[in-house]
């Protein structure tokens, strides 16, 4: 396939691009580099552009004879989406709809979309299946769910085949050590704990110790970024015209914040200084995915099934790249 990956210089996108190229797909990255990293993209594969430049996108679709698009480019900070919803509606919804129109102009109808566990809000029942009602509780989740709805309409009316993949907590790094997680500012738990272990930060703050969980801290389903990349490729390869795929992606097991800290201490051999703090607004106590549907229907299976192996791959990256891509 000739694949265009928007946001392919970002954390999850770059892992997908590496996999698509390894599997022989002619893959191109379209990324604004606002958050993405030039060094995360193989030489000669990057087109720098913003999602709002539809003429550029039209040109790329034509020149590269693209026949499928994987759309990672989006803003993804929950807290910021509450403070600045306009930024999220503009980029995650308006720019995405403009991208969909570019694809329609070029008769491209195969599309894989980065969705999120945040589309579910705070469900009572665990694990979260594809039948769980989607009731997002922040603008980020709402914008992602809005695009899921648009895609369903496009599939019905225009015979598009699309996959909406709802990631739980993406984590880890490529085992070859060449690409990994580098966000500015960093807000994610695993890199922040590793920074505390390395002495790059004074401590890790635990956001809430009074949750109704076994050790009082939040439980999340951490999924390795390479396993996520595989799910995108499987979906791309199996999509049929008119087909709607919705899949939750996690390993089906949750780990508490304290368990993740213990895993980092074990993997790095270092003590992590801890500060216990208040809850972070909007954090549900437990989020765990059921990924049975994608396992059954597409034969996807995560390779990284425990937190220690995920943390070990992240540690491998951070140790070799203490300043990230800089
Ligand atoms: N968390 C924490 N301290 C931090 C960052 C995160 O205790 O400095 C907790 C957070 O409350 C959540 C979990 O770690 O329960 C994972 O947070 P992250 O921001 O990595 O991902 P999210 O679950 O918000 O998508």
Whether the CB of 325 sits within 6 Å of ligand 1 = no
Q: How far apart are CA 211 and CA 284, in angstroms?
A: 9
Backbone φ and ψ of 198, nearest 5°: -85, -10
- Predicted structure pTM score: 0.97
Identify which of 21, 103, 61, 97 has the alpha carbon closest to the alpha carbon of residue 47.
61
Give the residue, by CA position, lying nearest to ligand 1 atom 14.
189
Residue 124: the pLDDT is 86
Residue 125 has pLDDT above 90, yes or no: yes
Cα 114–chain centre separation: 6
Ligand 1, atom nearest to 187 Cα: 19
Eight-class DSSP state of 289: B
- What is the mean predicted confidence (pLDDT) over 135-150? 97
Bond before 177 cis per omega within 30 degrees: no
> The tokens 């694990």 sit on which residue?
127
% of the chain beyond a pLDDT of 90: 97
Q: pLDDT-derived band of residue 283, with 50, 70 and 90 as boundaries? A: confident
Give the residue, by CA position, lying nearest to ligand 1 atom 11.
207
Three-state SS at 162? strand
Question: What is the CATH code of the structural domain delimited by 2-171+222-249?
Answer: 3.40.50.720
Region of 33 (left: φ > 0; alpha: ψ -120 to 50; beta: rest) is left
Active site residue 154: no
Digit-coded pLDDT (tens) for 188-237? 999 999 999 999 999 999 999 999 999 999 999 999 999 999 999 999 99
From the list 35, 88, 140, 247, the catalytic residue is 140
- What is the mean predicted confidence (pLDDT) over 304-320? 98
Identify which of 28, 310, 27, 34 has the alpha carbon closest to the alpha carbon of residue 188.
310
Give the residue, by CA position, lying nearest to ligand 1 atom 19.
188
CB 316 within 8 A of CB 183: no
Ligand 1 pocket, mutate which of 189, 200, 209 (most atoms under 8 A from CB): 189
Q: How far apart are CA 104 and CA 100, in angstroms?
A: 6
- What is the mean predicted confidence (pLDDT) over 277-288? 91
Residue 281 has pLDDT above 90, yes or no: no
Ligand 1, atom nearest to 117 Cα: 25
DSSP class per residue in 12-50: HHHHHHHHHHHTT-EEEEEE--SSS-GGGS-TT-EEE--
Whether the CB of 205 sits within 6 Å of ligand 1 = yes
Residue 318: the pLDDT is 98
Give the residue, by CA position, lying nearest to ligand 1 atom 10.
207
Digit-coded pLDDT (tens) for 26-64? 999 999 999 999 999 999 999 999 999 999 999 999 999
Tokens at 17, concatenated? 């691009």
DSSP class per residue in 190-254: HHHHHHHHHTSSS-EEEE-S-SSSTTSS-EE-EEEHHHHHHHHHHHHHH--TT-EEEEEES-S--
Question: What is the CATH code of the structural domain delimited by 189-221+252-320?
Answer: 3.90.25.10
- What is the mean predicted confidence (pLDDT) over 150-164? 98
Three-state SS at 275? strand
Specify which residues 251 forms β-bridges with.
none
Specify which residues 169 forms β-bridges with.
222
Q: How far apart are CA 269 and CA 31, in angstroms?
A: 37
Digit-coded pLDDT (tens) for 62-99? 999 999 999 999 999 988 999 999 999 999 999 999 99
**Average pLDDT score over the chain:** 97
Residue 162 has pLDDT above 90, yes or no: yes
Would you list the domain boundaries of the chain? 2-171+222-249, 189-221+252-320
Eight-class DSSP state of 129: -
Residue 41 alpha carbon to ligand 1 centre in Å: 27
Residue 282: the pLDDT is 80
């Amino acid at each position: 396939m000739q694949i265009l990956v928007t946001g392919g210089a970002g954390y999850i996108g770059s892992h997908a691009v590496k996999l698509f190229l390894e599997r022989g797909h002619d893959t191109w990255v379209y990324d604004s580099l606002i958050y993405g990293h030039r060094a995360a993209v193989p030489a000669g594969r990057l087109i720098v552009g913003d999602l709002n430049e539809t003429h550029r996108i039209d040109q790329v679709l034509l020149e590269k004879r693209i026949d499928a698009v994987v759309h990672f480019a989006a803003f993804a900070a929950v807290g910021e989406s509450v403070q600045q919803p306009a930024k999220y509606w503009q980029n995650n919804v308006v720019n995405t709809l403009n991208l969909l129109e570019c694809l329609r102009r070029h008769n491209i109808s195969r599309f894989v979309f980065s969705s999120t566990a945040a589309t579910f809000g705070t469900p009572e029942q665990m694990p979260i299946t594809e039948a769980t009602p989607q009731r997002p509780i922040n603008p980020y989740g709402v914008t992602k769910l809005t695009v899921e709805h648009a895609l369903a309409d496009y599939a019905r009316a225009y015979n598009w085949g699309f996959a909406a993949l709802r990631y739980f907590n993406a984590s880890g790094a490529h085992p070859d050590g060449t690409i990994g997680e580098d966000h500015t500012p960093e807000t994610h738990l695993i890199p922040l704990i590793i920074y505390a272990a390395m002495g790059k930060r004074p401590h890790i703050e635990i956001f809430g110790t009074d949750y109704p969980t076994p050790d009082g801290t939040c439980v999340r389903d951490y999924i390795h970024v390479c396993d996520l990349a595989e799910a995108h490729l499987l979906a791309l390869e199996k999509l049929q015209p008119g087909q709607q795929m919705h899949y939750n992606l996690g390993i089906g097991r949750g780990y508490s914040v304290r368990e993740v800290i213990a895993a980092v201490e074990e993997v790095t051999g270092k003590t992590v200084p801890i500060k216990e703090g208040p809850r972070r607004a909007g954090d549900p106590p437990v989020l765990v995915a059921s990924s049975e549907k994608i396992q059954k229907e597409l034969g996807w299976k995560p390779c990284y099934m425990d937190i220690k192996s995920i943390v070990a791959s992240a540690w491998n990256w951070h140790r070799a790249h203490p300043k990230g891509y800089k």
